[in-house]
Chain A
Amino acid sequence: MLEIKNLHANIEGKEILKGINLKINKGEVHAIMGPNGSGKSTLAQVLAGREEYEVTEGEVLYQGQNLLEMKPEDRARAGIFLAFQYPVEIPGVSNTNLLKTALNEIRKYRGEEELDAMEFLSLIKKRMQLVELDKTLLSRSVNEGFSGGEKKRNEIFQMAVLEPKLAILDETDSGLDIDALRIVANGVNKLKNSESSTIVVTHYQRLLNYIIPDFVHVLYKGKIIKSGGKELALELEDKGYDWVKDHIDEVVEQG
């Protein structure tokens, strides 16, 4: 599905990613954990095609294609979805309008027929239930005046409508109370299937109680310093990030 090889990325001349290597197969869930400022969100944004980041080295293959050469919209059309850490408010654009335009552009790209108004409505009705989203939010401007929890649920709702092959959840859990967390996790779990993969970027282990990862990677100072199974998350929770930090800093010193 996705193969990242020696990925380096800068923003405003500052190197954030310093050689990421990661391979994700179909149907897998990978958690990327790490302390603040380690480059987790940068990785998510680079994969989605944020222009502000400059990739200086390395390559990313997505379904055999060179992902870094694709425009952000083409990445989305090819099945990549980023649930934003901070969803953007867009006054004057209704949630429905955004989704309808997005869905039809994606369908067009894939050579599928556009959905008519009725089909679209019935689809979003079903998907809304998945994340228990209030239907009044549909006609409102995208994320405008939404609570933090509503914004995060709205991201997962969009994901449910667009049905990505590779979903990247960027700190979707932060700021959520436990009920909202369960709803969001439940939505993600229901959308998972053997054909799709998920990257869960998080600072806390909590979310991983609900979305069970196949692999856990620890990102620190722009590099993946440790990878393991789901038990690694628990170990991290238990011992704290200092445990891996000490480990890596030791390694660096010795080197």
Chain B
Amino acid sequence: MDKILDLKNWYIQKFEHLERNLNGDSNTIHSLRRDAISYFSDLKFPSLKDEDWKYTNIDPLLKYNFKPVDPKKKIAPIQPEKIQKFLFDKMEHSLLVFINGHYSEELSNIQDLPKDVIVSNIASAISNHSSIVKKHFGQYADYKNHIFTALSTAFIKDGVFVYIPDGKIIEHPIHVLFLSDCKEEKLLIQPRNLFVAGKNSQATIIEHYTSFEDCTYFTNTVTEVVADENAIVDHIKLQEESKNAFHIARMEVDQERNSNFTSHLISTGGDISRNDFNTRFNNEGGECILNGLFLTTGTQLFDIHSMIDHAKPHCNSHEHYKGILDDKSRGVFNGKVMVRKDAQKTNAFQENNNIILSDSALINTKPQLEIFADDVKCSHGATIGQLDSEAMFYLKSRGIGEETARTILIRAFASDVIKSIKINEVRNYLEEILNKRFNS
């Protein structure tokens, strides 16, 4: 326990250091930081005794004193060729690149956007658009009960800010690339994103986490999304962190009347990756789709805790997560759908399917429905299995070899999640990942 206390003190010291170096660069965000650090010092790091962390042991993460990135420190320039393989070249899009949490203007390329649309790094937005940022920032991701969100909020520095005023449409996707370049110290990188879609607006955002090398660092990220009335937000997250990295992510989505939010979470990286994903219907007619695909090997652990809050009537939610687990890796799916008393005519469907490729991989899956309304259509289910031996034999009997047959069946399993992604380029990118992974 003392070690963990030391660790907390370490982060608190780092905060004090940050504060001393602000040199009067204080603004409203800073009072949020201070509030958050005080909550951080009171909260405890979760352990297996906490119901929400029952299957996810974060001791390996707590072993390290990760160093928050120094906002003043200049990053070494990176040649554009070096990031080429992470890009969706053939697609028209805006690109924002962050290296170890620092925004790289040189590597980024933001397209001409409709009037009043803002796509920028959040540090600039805090200075340039403070009233809009202030209205939403930190309003959805509660840091008072969540230690990692408190840590994120205390060190708010940079991330992405997208603001689409009423009636505007961002035609081409926004690709946000968070790259870790971690030759040196073990870094704590904390991207902080805010996406605000006004009434009748539309945008597609790709949040992409990856690294140059398989080194150890800690990404602790928080993304807040607001979808106002009739807005359409399509969100894709690609988590391809280093296999030795820790990835703790929180996403909070606030949905207003008739809004439509689609999410795809594709996760292949990280030693431990934990995703807390909460969406709320604040008004009628909303729709949300949460699809996910996770691939784990070695001793990786992937954990998704989702909560879809049907607070109002006539909303639809579809959640479908698929896991492919190999070696000694582990997975946790905990999906909760809450249908509150007023939420009549709710349609909520939830499913989690998993394939276990080895004898020692393990998945803990817990789909949960809590229904307090009486006129709703809800279903949930989970499956865990091996590759279908009948299908294997059928393929072999057509002349297809063992390895290829395996690959075909694994890809078939993953295909419906991938196919439901609307962007062709992203689908191809994922097919390529699957190719590399399963065509040895």
Please list the residues of chain A having a beta carbon within 8 angstroms of any beta carbon in chain B. 48-51, 71-73, 75-77, 81-82, 84, 87-88, 90-93, 97-99, 101-103, 105-106, 109, 141-142, 158, 162
Q: Contact at B399–A102, with CB atoms within 8 Å? A: yes
* B81 interface residue per 8 A CB criterion: no
Main secondary structure of the interface of B (DSSP, over half): helix
A73 and B394 in contact, given A93-B409, A93-B412 (Cβ under 8 angstroms): no
CB distance from B261 to the nearest CB of A (A): 26
Is the beta-carbon distance between B399 and A91 smaller than 8 angstroms?
no
A-B contact pairs, 7 of them (CB 8 A): A72-B393, A73-B400, A88-B391, A90-B412, A92-B411, A93-B412, A102-B398
Q: Counting CB contacts under 8 A, is B171 at the interface?
A: no
| A13 smallest CB distance to B (angstroms) | 19
In the complex, are the beta carbons of A76 and B399 less than 8 A apart? yes
Which of A51, A71, A109, A162 contacts B398, CB < 8 Å?
A: A162
In the assembled complex, which residues on chain B have CB atoms less than 8 Å from the CB atom of A142? Answer: 394
Residues of A within 8 A of B408 (CB): 93, 97-98, 101
A51 near B394 (CB under 8 angstroms)? no
Q: Is B396 an interface residue (CB 8 A)?
A: yes
Contact B399 A162, beta carbon cutoff 8 Å: yes
B409/A105 in contact, CB under 8 A: no
Q: Give A176 Cβ to nearest chain B Cβ, in Å.
A: 20
| Separation of A41 and B376 alpha carbons in the complex (Å) | 48
Task: Say yes or no: A72 contacts B397, CB within 8 Å.
Answer: yes
Contact of A105 with B415 in the complex, beta carbons under 8 Å: no
Given A73-B400, A73-B402, A101-B404, A90–B411 Cβ distance below 8 Å?
no
Cβ-defined contact, B400 with A92, below 8 A: no
CB nearest to A78 among chain B residues: B399
> Are A76 and B398 within 8 A (Cβ)?
yes
Residues 14-53 of B, flagged 1 when their CB comes within 8 A of A and 0 if not, give 0000000000000000000000000000000000000000
CB distance B399 to A109 under 8 Å? yes
- Using known A-B contacts A73-B400, A76-B398, A162-B399, determine if residue A51 contacts B393 with beta carbons closer than 8 Å: yes
**Do residues A92 and B398 form an inter-chain contact, with CB atoms below 8 A?**
no
Q: Is the CB of A90 within 8 A of B391?
A: yes
B401 on the A face (CB < 8 A): yes
The answer to whether B400 and A101 touch across the interface, beta carbons within 8 angstroms, is yes
Looking across the interface, which residue of chain B has its beta carbon closest to that of A106? B399
- Asked if residues A102 and B400 are in contact (CB atoms below 8 Å), the reply is yes
Using Cβ atoms and an 8 Å threshold, which residues of chain A touch B391?
88, 90
Q: B397 contacts which of A76, A90, A103 (Cβ < 8 Å)?
A: A76
Contact status A92-B399, CB under 8 Å: no
Residues of chain B contacted by A93 (CB below 8 angstroms): 408-409, 412
Chain B residues within an 8 Å CB radius of A141: 412
Q: How far does the alpha carbon of A142 sit from the alpha carbon of B400 in the complex, in Å? A: 15
Given A97-B408, A101-B408, check contact A90 B399 (CB 8 Å): no
